[in-house]
Amino acid sequence: MKIGKFAEMHNITQDTVRHYLDLELLVAEKDGGHYKFSDSDSRDLKRIIELKNLGFSLSKAQQIMAMQRLSGENTKAFRDFYLSCLKEKKEEVEGEIANFTTVKYQIKERINEIKWREKDKVQKLGLSLSSLHLLQCPYCQSQLTLPDGTIEQNNVIEASINCSCGYSAEIKDGIYIDKSCVRTKLVNGERLPTKEEYLDSTTPNYSNFLYRGIATLVEYINKYEKELKYIVEIDNCVGFTLMQYIKYIPPESTYILIDYDYERITSLKKDLENFYQHKNFIFLCCDYNVLPLRKSSVDLVIDYHMTERYEKETGSKLYDVIVPLVKDKGTICGAYIYYEELKGEAEITESSLYNEEQMMELINGYNLNLLDSTILGPLTEGISYNKDLSDRLTFQGAYICKKI
């Protein structure tokens, strides 16, 4: 019979049959350039399938089939050889079972540990009483008043916030909320993906590329900064930088997180309450241009890929927001993405506002003193599997500078 019918009869593909022929697991005769399969070939294929089902590799199956053909299936030589192979495979499987039993136990222990940590809420985070002096009206810069509220362990958990100019906000479950700013975060008109969704759609090389940017910022901070009382993160995915930096944050430092998406900042807060020991946070649910923070009150601002994004979305410069927040001799560190066209390729449709030269001009324009910088890359693939960006090179810049 021909190869198509032979493959169909045994419920395998023609490519598999050809592979077995190449390995000489099957030794069918040729007739006029085409393979001709017999009942003997069918018996051989059934034996191959049986060996595979028993866990033998194709190379081991080759040895067994060769021994069978050399000595005959019903000879003592073949039976002894095949029996030794089966005993060896049995010992191998028993070892794997023992190993999988150990792994199963370890997985079970890890599951129980995670469930236990989820149930054991170790802390309740809120706006610390010691940080209230940081707050001021984003419109008239007056002192904000809290006429009533709920306090737990020196943290404001619930409160109404007012200003004489008419501005109002609230603290709900420890989160400062400007209701006029609250909305769902969108990207290109669609909801911002969760971390799991983002990971599923992003190439590992691109994820590692982003991680290297954060790792460089953490290295800069640890190298140039020792005493940090207040830190502000500016990040489109709130807490993305924090998750890599949190193990280095000094215990006395207060980390300020900002996002106008209440659901996302609430989710982050719950994770921090359940799984981390750091106690000093301020959660602000508002826009960057109406931050209720005093000028010259922050020691460090971390800007992760937001300088360009903010300017494209609002038409304003992010540095007009963050530089006034920083104390004299305070620090700004940041990372930014830019692209370069491959020579001779088509024009890049997604342009960058800031490459290395333009970012350095921005820093100098705000009278900041550059301490360190580097360029990571290039990366020659895109953010996702289904987006071909082979016509350009992707770079990531990182820097740290001081306010003079």
Q: What is the CATH number of the domain that holds 51?
A: 1.10.1660.10
pLDDT of residue 344: 47
Same domain, 274 and 375: yes
> Higher confidence at residue 155 or residue 348?
155
| Percentage, residues of the chain above pLDDT 90 | 68
Burial label for 322, CB within 10 Å (0-12, 13-18, 19+), is buried
Asked which of 74-78, 88-92, 190-194, 259-263 is least confident by mean pLDDT, the reply is: 190-194
Same domain, 232 and 354: yes
Considering the entire predicted model, what is its pTM?
0.74
Same domain, 214 and 320: yes
Residue 138 lies in a domain: no
Same domain, 220 and 327: yes
| Boundary-marking domain end, from 65, 91, 117 | 91
| Boundary-marking domain end, from 62, 91, 120 | 91
Residue 280 lies in a domain: yes
* pLDDT tens digits, one per residue of 165-174: 999 999 999 9
DSSP class per residue in 114-157: HHHHHH-------EEGGGGGGB--TTT-PPPEEEEEEEETTEEE
How many domains does one find in the chain? 2
Same domain, 371 and 228: yes
Residue 324 lies in a domain: yes
* pLDDT tens digits, one per residue of 11-26: 999 999 999 998 888 9
Residue 193 lies in a domain: yes
Interhelix angle 58-71/76-119, rounded to 10 degrees, is 160
Residue 151 lies in a domain: no
Residue 345 lies in a domain: yes
Q: What is the CATH number of the domain that holds 235?
A: 3.40.50.150
DSSP three-state, residue 368: strand
In this structure, the number of other CB atoms found within 10 A of the CB of residue 209 comes to 21
DSSP three-state, residue 179: coil
Residue 244 lies in a domain: yes
Cβ-based neighbours of 109, under 8 Å, separated by 6 or more: none
pLDDT of residue 109: 85
Asked which of 40-44, 90-94, 108-112, 295-299 is least confident by mean pLDDT, the reply is: 108-112
Same domain, 376 and 265: yes
Residue 97 lies in a domain: no
Same domain, 251 and 372: yes
* pLDDT tens digits, one per residue of 279-330: 999 999 999 999 999 999 999 999 999 999 999 999 999 999 999 999 999 9
| Boundary-marking domain end, from 46, 61, 91 | 91
Same domain, 254 and 369: yes
Whole domain around residue 288: which residue ranges? 181-403
Same domain, 80 and 189: no
